[in-house]
Amino acid sequence: MYEVFEQLLQKNGVTPYKVAKEAGVTQTALSNWKSGRSTPTTKTLQKIADYFGVTIDFLMTGKNTNEKTSELTPRDEKDIEKILEHTKEQLLSQEGLMFDGDPASPEAVDSILAAMQIGMEMAKKKNKEKYTPKKYKKD
């Protein structure tokens, strides 16, 4: 846990003393934390996190658990719905779609479409993350 704090110190070019003074935390709390004698209180962690502009979770784990993920727009949802509807019509009209020698039931077709929908939503979100220019991304 203290390793993340040290990384933030290096990244921001500050000393533990400066953080303690400016964040309103005692140097003893930081010293005990470094030596492993104790863990700072939630209040102390919040002060340190606020100082660096990170979450307590990030301070504790080094991972940003609150990263924003790309969301689907109503247009994306409409596009997916159109594709799924067209695919459903094709699957129901074909006589060649079989499972174990029996024609696919409407329930089987619905299962296929549900899986396709999940895959399409994930692909759209991943593509938004990958191909959206930084100037349009929300912070």
Fold of 2-61: 434 Repressor (Amino-terminal Domain) (1.10.260)
The pLDDT value recorded for residue 82 is 93
Per DSSP, 53 falls in state T
Torsion angle of C-alpha atoms 66, 68, 73, 74, degrees rounded to 10? 10
Distance CA 32, CA 41 (A): 12
**If the chain, 139 residues long, is cut into consecutive pieces of 10 residues, what is the mean pLDDT of each piece?**
87 89 88 84 87 85 63 86 88 73 78 86 82 60
Question: Do 41 and 9 meet the contact criterion of CB atoms below 8 Å apart?
Answer: no
Distance CA 74, CA 107 (A): 27
The pLDDT value recorded for residue 135 is 53
User: For the purposes of burial, counting CB atoms within 10 Å of the CB of 79, is it exposed (0-12), middle (13-18) or buried (19 or more)?
Assistant: middle
Distance CA 44, CA 50 (A): 10
User: Which two structure tokens, joined as six digits, stand for 113?
Assistant: 């479409």
Question: Do 53 and 14 meet the contact criterion of CB atoms below 8 Å apart?
Answer: no
Break the chain into its structural domains and give their ranges.
2-61, 74-136
Distance CA 131, CA 88 (A): 29
Distance CA 95, CA 43 (A): 66
The pLDDT value recorded for residue 96 is 64
